[in-house]
Structure 1
Amino acid sequence: MTEPATVRMPAAFAGSDLDRADHIRADADALSGLMDWRARLLKMDGLAPVAGADNCLEWGTLADCEPEDELVFLGLLGGKGCFAAVPQPGKSGPAPAMPTIWHMLATMPAADLATYGAARSLVDWHMRHRFCANCGQGTRIAKGGWQRSCDDCGADHFPRTDPVTIMLVEHTDGRLLLGRQPRFPARRFSALAGFVEPGEDVEEAVAREVQEEAGIAVRDVRYVASQPWPFPSQLMIGCHAMTDEDALTVDETELDEARWFTREEVAEAMQAGENGAAFIAPPRLAIANTLLTWWLER
């Protein structure tokens, strides 16, 4: 991989004000001492955020929990313990694709957005890992919610983050390759992306994904920026790569379409938003938007 970008790119869902306080997680007495009247409980509707004035996250107290809820320790804020509740099965809340939720997230303060993203990923993991993957028995919460343990076989399980490469592919003539997934709205184009597979590094994942989805070879892979993405829990690894190849062979199981765009077309789309003439740019919360901004400004 070539020399990385020297300027840290701002990313949505990163930059929480919470101190994660790792030293408290395994200290049962210290953790118990934080569960008093001063403790704060992040209000969530299943996995959806609950926002109040100025679209900031709403906090309650531990008295707002259901008796059967498990508590996840998010960290410290102003010396107070901050927690989130893991709802019981069947209480997942509104679907994350609802426009109202995305509007809320798009206008939420950056630090609150990052706090919600971490909480959502962690709570979602607990909801999906109530049973041991080793023996099938029920698991219990441990280390303040940063582990689940099986008392039957002794296995410990930890929250996972899945690495995903997302890349801008630039032709030597200055055009940029973007694709449209089947689930995208009409005319929405974004950077190509795909999960890093076992046994490959980031450069190999970038090259493989571009070859699979668009049928071209790339070189000079460069790391640009990263972003946590809590739907459910990915780390988006933003990259840039070059190619000398022009003809595309689109994998229609992955993409509906892939096209080359000029710098002028990308600039117009980024400025015009939903009214873009050439295409509709990725939303501001997505790292693809950050990558396109970087590409236009570098």
Structure 2
Amino acid sequence: MALSRAGVDRAAEHRQDEPWLAAAWSHPDTKVLAVAEGQAFVMDTEQGTELVLLPSFEAPEGGERYFLGVDGDGTAYFAVALTGGTLPGRLDGDARTAGLREVGALLADRDAGLLVHAVALENWHRSHRFCSRCGHPTVPALAGHVRRCTSCAHEHYPRTDPAVIMMITDGQDRALLGRQALWPEGRYSTLAGFVEPGESLEQAVAREVAEEAGVRVDPDSVNYVASQPWPFPSSLMLGFMGRADDSDGGTEITVDGEELSEARWFSREELRTGMEDGTVLPPSGISIARRLVELWYGGPLPESARW
């Protein structure tokens, strides 16, 4: 999956080693990624879309610095998160700004992993400036992977919110897909929702499907497929396949009108026909929903008339 790739060892053992971090930052081979509110500089080359990585002596000043890791050649990577939410003026050449939704699937493994890591940290730091215990300001520590209170010294760690996303099928092997009112007309995707306190992942799958679409799912039928970070701003998407309960109206759809405006059962033929004539738009290629739909479909989805 596009956002589950990596080409750099996070090397967490160096996060508390200030002399090592200082030496790594000053090394001429070190690479720095500038980020601001989820945006970074990228460049389209003959090899594909790539991150613009700067030597540390050219890195923007004034931003928070996060250590991202070390590659197999020993090159260290850092991110600089810029205050004010804007990147510096356009770089020389053909560099442009872009976010994960736009280029996440286009980047190579190393660059995809670096951008996901940097964006996730930047999102968290931007929204956790104050201590939840005493209300005083916090400052970055452990190379950007902790925030420490300036008053009570309590340490706050990056937040990750687990969310389940699921492909539910019925006894006819049809797929349950839904759409939100704000999406483009015809866009359908798998159902998803956040895990609640004290709840297993399987229970969350069954509860969310029942709440959003009125369909009953036996938690024992739910099987894990894969996960993908989703830093918009702080989720970890956990993908599952599950089976609806066909007995006593368990597959009858009643949408909640809030999370979903519509839901329906699709056969493979109905999905293929809808995509080919442009009446159905699939989940985006960057999402784990697309992978789940393709697993059920049996391969890559056909071209859509609206792509």
Which range, TM-score by smaller chain? 0.7 to 0.9
Residue type of the alignment partner of 1:47? G
Q: Is the 2:34–2:82 Cα contact (8 Å) retained in structure 1?
A: no
Aligned to 2:303: none
Please state whether the residue corresponding to 1:56 is helix, strand or coil. strand
Q: Which residue of 1 aligns with 2:77?
A: 82
Comparing both chains, which one has the higher relative contact order based on Cα–Cα distances under 8 Å and sequence gaps of 6 or more?
1
Aligned counterparts of 1:114 and 1:266: Cα–Cα separation in 2: 32
* 2:117 aligned counterpart, secondary structure: helix
Q: CA deviation at 1:121?
A: 0.6
> How many Å separate the matches in 1 of 2:85 and 2:37?
9
CA distance in structure 1 between the aligned counterparts of 2:58 and 2:107, rounded to whole angstroms: 23
Give the 3-state SS of the residue equivalent to 2:77 in structure 1: strand
Cα distance change, pair 82–110 in 1 and its aligned pair in 2 (3 A): closer
* 1:142-157 paired onto structure 2 within 5 Å: 142-157=141-156
Give identity over the alignment, percent.
38
CA contact (8 A) 1:267 1:296 kept: no
Report the counterpart of residue 222 of structure 2 in structure 1: 221
Deviation at 1:242, TM superposition (A): 0.8
- Give the counterpart letter for 1:296 in structure 2: Y
What is the SS of the residue equivalent to 2:293?
A: helix
| Residue correspondence of structure 1 range 29-48 to structure 2 within 5 A | 29-36=19-26, 37-48=28-39
Q: How far does the alpha carbon of each residue in 1:165-217 deviate from its partner, in whole angstroms, 9 at most, with x for none?
A: 00111111221110001221110000000000111010110011011001121
Q: Deviations over 1:214-260 (max 9, x none)?
A: 11210211111111112112111111111112311110011110111
Residues 1:23 and 2:23 are matched in the alignment:
no
CA separation in 2, counterparts of 1:48 and 1:184?
22
* Pairs aligned (count): 279
| AA matched with 2:77 | C
Question: 264, 268, 283: which one pairs with 2:269?
Answer: 264
Greater Cα offset, 257-266 or 197-206: 257-266
Describe how 1:274-289 pairs up with structure 2 within 5 A. 275-277=276-278, 279-289=280-290
Q: Contact 1:117–1:230 at 8 Å: present in 2 too? A: yes
On the 8 A contact 1:87/1:127 being kept in 2, the answer is no
What secondary structure sits across from 2:3 in the alignment? Answer: coil
Alignment check: 8 A CA contact 2:34 2:40 kept: yes
| Deviation at residue 281 of structure 1 after TM alignment | 0.7
C-alpha spacing 1:158/1:139, structure 2 compared with 1 (3 Å) = same
SS in 1 for 2:78: strand
Q: Which of 54, 77, 80 does residue 60 from structure 1 map onto?
A: 54
Q: Contact 2:165–2:238 at 8 Å: present in 1 too? A: yes
Give the conservation status (yes or no) of the 8 Å contact 2:35–2:122: no
Q: Is 2:175 aligned against 1:180? A: no
Q: Which moved more, 1:252-261 or 1:111-120?
A: 111-120
Conserved in 1, the CA contact under 8 Å of 2:213 and 2:263?
A: yes
Structure 2 CA distance, aligned partners of 1:80 and 1:110?
16
Are 2:145 and 1:140 aligned?
no
Query: Which residue does the alignment assign to 1:6?
Result: none
Cα distance in 2 for partners of 1:12, 1:163 equals 18
Letter in 1 for 2:258: T
Contact 1:141 / 1:147 at 8 angstroms: preserved in 2?
yes
What is the CA RMSD across the aligned residues, in angstroms?
2.1
The residue matched to 2:83 in structure 1 has which SS? coil
SS of match in other structure, 2:110: helix
Shift, 1:70, TM fit: 1.4
More deviation, 37-46/52-61: 37-46
Are 1:25 and 1:73, in contact at CA under 8 Å, matched by a contact in 2? yes
Give the structure-2-normalised TM-score: 0.85
Instruction: Note the C-alpha offset of 1:40.
Output: 1.1
Distance verdict in 2 for CA 1:169–1:46, change over 3 Å:
closer
Q: Hey, what's the Cα distance between the residues in 2 that align with 1:89 and 1:138?
A: 17
Deviation (angstroms), 1:152 = 0.3
- Mapped to 2, the partners of 1:192 and 1:233 lie a distance apart of 18
- Partner of 2:2, secondary structure, is coil
Q: Displacement of 1:264 after TM fit?
A: 1.6
CA displacement at 1:131 relative to structure 2: 1.6
Secondary structure of the corresponding residue to residue 43 of structure 1: strand
Structure 1 residue 71 corresponds to structure 2 residue 65:
yes
